[in-house]
Structure 1
Amino acid sequence: MTKSLPTFSSKKIWIADLLLLLVAVVWGTSYGVAKQALVFYPVLDFVALRFSITFLLLLPSLRQLAQPQGRAALRAGLPLGLILLAIFICETFGLAQTKASNAAFLISLFVVFTPFVEWLVMARRPSGSAFLMAFVSLFGTWLLTYGGSLALNLGDGLILAAALLRALMVCMTKRLTHNKSMSTLALTAVQSGVVGLGCFLIAALFMRNGLPPLPSASGFWICTLYLVLFCTIFAFFAQNYGVRQSDPTRVSLLMGSEPLFGALFAVFWLGEQLSFLSWVGGGLIVGATLWATLPRSIFFARLAK
C-alpha cells in the first residue's frame, strides 16, 4: 500500500504560497528600512512602538475573545508572542550592530534550522529533498549576500539566535494552531500585544531616564508605518495563515527567498550593484523556492500524458 501524498495543488495551498512569497518581498526590504528608523530611536523603544501601534490597529479583532475562536487565538498567541518578543529583541539589536546584508543572510539560516527543529518539536522527519533544498537555499543566500566570504561579530551572533528562534516560531505556530479553529487576526493581535508590552517593560526596567521623546522626523514615521502595516500586520497574518495551511519546512523555504527580494530592492531602489556570484546565489534561492512550491507529483503526471 503506497502512502498518499499531500495535495499541494489545492486552492488554499496556492493562496498560502503566494502570501508567503509576498511576506518574503516585504521582509526583504525591512532590514534597510528598520536600520534607517534606528538612527532616530533606541532599539527597545522602537520595537515597543512598532508593535504597540500594530496592536492598537488590530484591537477590534479582540472582540472575538468572547468566542471559542478568539479564546483559542489567545491560548496560542501568548506563548507565540513570547517567542516573537525574543526574536525581535535579538534581531533588532543585531541589526543595529551589523550590516543589513549580513542580517538578511543570517536570518535566512532559519531555512536550514527549521527541518531540524521540526524533527525535535513535532517528531516528524522531513523528506530528504526538503533538507537538500534547504541547504541549496542557504548556499544561494551565502553567495547572494556575501559573495562567498563570512565574518561574524556580536550583531551577527544575535541575528543567528533570531534565526534559530524563527525556526522554533514556525514549528510552534504549526503545533499550537494545527486543526484548531481560531481567528488569525486575533492571533496576530495577541502576539503583537505581547511583544509591545514586553519591550515596554524591559525598557522601563533597564532605562534609567525612561522612554525618550518620539522623533519628529517624517522619515522615521514613514519607516515605522511601513514596518507596521506591511512587515508586521500583513506579514504575520500571512505567516500564521500559511503555517496553518502547509508544513513548517515548506513555509521556511518559501520565506527563505527573502534575501533575494532584499537584493532586488537594493538594486532598483537604492542603486546598489550586485556581483555575478550574488546573482547566481539569487538564482539558487529562486530554484529552491520553486522546487518547494510546485506540486511535483501532479506536474510529472501531466507531463506523462
Structure 2
Amino acid sequence: MKGMNNWRSGAQGNLWLADAMLLAVAIIWGSSYAVAKQALWFYPVLGFLAIRFGLTFILLLPQLRGERLRAIRPGLPLGGVMLGIFLCETWGVMLTTASNAAFLISLCVVFTPFVEWAMLRQRPSNLLFGACGLSLVGVWLLTGGLAISLNLGDGLMLAAALLRAVLVCFTRRLTADLQVPALALTAVQSGVVASGCLVLGLALPGGMPALPQSPTFWAATLYLVGFATLFALYAQNLALGRTSATRVSLLMGSEPLFGAIIAGLWLGERLTLTEWSGGLLIMLATLGTLRFGDVAAPVVGEGREPAACPATSRH
C-alpha cells in the first residue's frame, strides 16, 4: 500500500510539473509578441528573422546527423511554408498591436479543420462550423465592431494563421510515416527561413543594414531563440509524455490571454471592452475546437504545432 501511495504521489508530481512547464511555455509564447515588436524597433523584419532563425539553425545543427538527416526532405518544403508564415506574422506584429497579434494567430486552430476539408475532403463537424462563426464574431469585435478597422497588420496575422493551418496539414502528410525528430525538423525549417530572409534582404536596394548594436535587440532575439524555441520544444516534448492532449490544449490555449496582458503591462497597449470581448470569443472558439473537435492540441509556438506532428517554430 505504501508503495502504491508513493507511486501515486510521484505520478501526481509529474503531472503538476508537466502542467507548470506548459503554463510557462504559454506565458513565454504570449510574451513573444511584445518581445518581437520591441526587437523590430531596432532592425528590419528580414534582418531580424535572418538573425533569429540563423542562430536557431546553428544551435540545432548537431541534431542533423545519422538517421535524423531524413528530416531534410520534408523540412525543405515545410520550411518554405514557414518562411511565408513568419514574413506575414512578423510584419503583422510590426503593423498591429501585440494584443491583436496574439489573439488573431490563435485562429490557426479553427482554420485547420477547414484546410483539411479542402485538402482531404474530410468535412468538419457542425461544432467546428459553430466555432468558426464564433471566431468570426470575435475578429469583428477585436478589430472595431461597428467601426471595424481591419488594418494591414491584422490582415497579415490572419494570413499567417491560415498558413499555419496549411503547415499543420502538410506536416502531417509529409512526416506521417517518417517519424522525424522534432528538433531535426525544426533545424531544417529554421535554416530555410534564415536563408530565405537573407536572400530577400540582400536582394533589396541597399542590401541588409549593419548589425544592430542595441543590447535590447540582442536580448530580445536571444530570448526568442532560447526560451520561445529551445525551451518550449523541450518542455512540450517532456509534457506530452506525462499529461493528456486535452490538458495540453487547455493550458496552451491561454497563450493569447497572456499575450494581451503582457502587451498591456510592457508596451502600454490597452484594449477596449469591445476588443476584450472579441479576443475572449476567439479564445473560446479555439478552446472549443481543441476540446470537443477533431483537431490535435496546438503545440506550435517556437516549436509549436499540433501534438500529432513534429514540432515547428512559432513566434
TM-score (norm 2): 0.72
Report whether the alignment pairs 1:66 with 2:69.
no
In 1, Cα distance between the equivalents of 2:250 and 2:165? Answer: 11
Quote how far apart the aligned CAs of 1:122 are: 3.0
After superposition, residues 1-305 of structure 1 pair within 5 angstroms as 24-62=26-64, 65-67=65-67, 70-140=68-138, 143=141, 145-146=142-143, 148=145, 149-206=147-204, 208-235=205-232, 257-270=254-267, 272-281=269-278, 283-292=280-289, 294=291
In 1, Cα distance between the equivalents of 2:125 and 2:256? Answer: 24
Deviations along 1:79-137, one digit per CA (max 9) or x if unpaired, are 11000011111222233333333433443342332221011223322322233234434
Give the residue type in structure 1 aligned to 2:74: A
Quote how far apart the aligned CAs of 1:177 are: 2.2
Quote how far apart the aligned CAs of 1:176 are: 1.8
Does the 8 Å CA contact 1:188/1:237 hold for their aligned counterparts? no
Does the 8 Å CA contact 2:110/2:132 hold for their aligned counterparts? yes
Structure 1 residues 31 and 59, CA gap change in structure 2 (3 angstroms): same
Does the 8 Å CA contact 1:108/1:138 hold for their aligned counterparts? no
Quote how far apart the aligned CAs of 1:269 are: 4.4
Does the 8 Å CA contact 2:54/2:194 hold for their aligned counterparts? yes
* Bigger mean CA offset, 15-24 vs 284-293: 15-24
Quote how far apart the aligned CAs of 1:241 are: 9.8
TM-score (norm 1): 0.74
Number of residue-to-residue matches in the alignment: 278
Deviations along 1:202-231, one digit per CA (max 9) or x if unpaired, are 11222x433222112111111111121233
In 2, Cα distance between the equivalents of 1:281 and 1:74? Answer: 40
Between the aligned residues of both structures, percent identity stands at 58
In 2, Cα distance between the equivalents of 1:201 and 1:194? Answer: 11
Instruction: Give the secondary-structure state (helix, strand or coil) at the position aligned to 2:42.
Output: coil
Quote how far apart the aligned CAs of 1:23 are: 5.2
In 1, Cα distance between the equivalents of 2:248 and 2:280? Answer: 19
Quote how far apart the aligned CAs of 1:170 are: 1.4
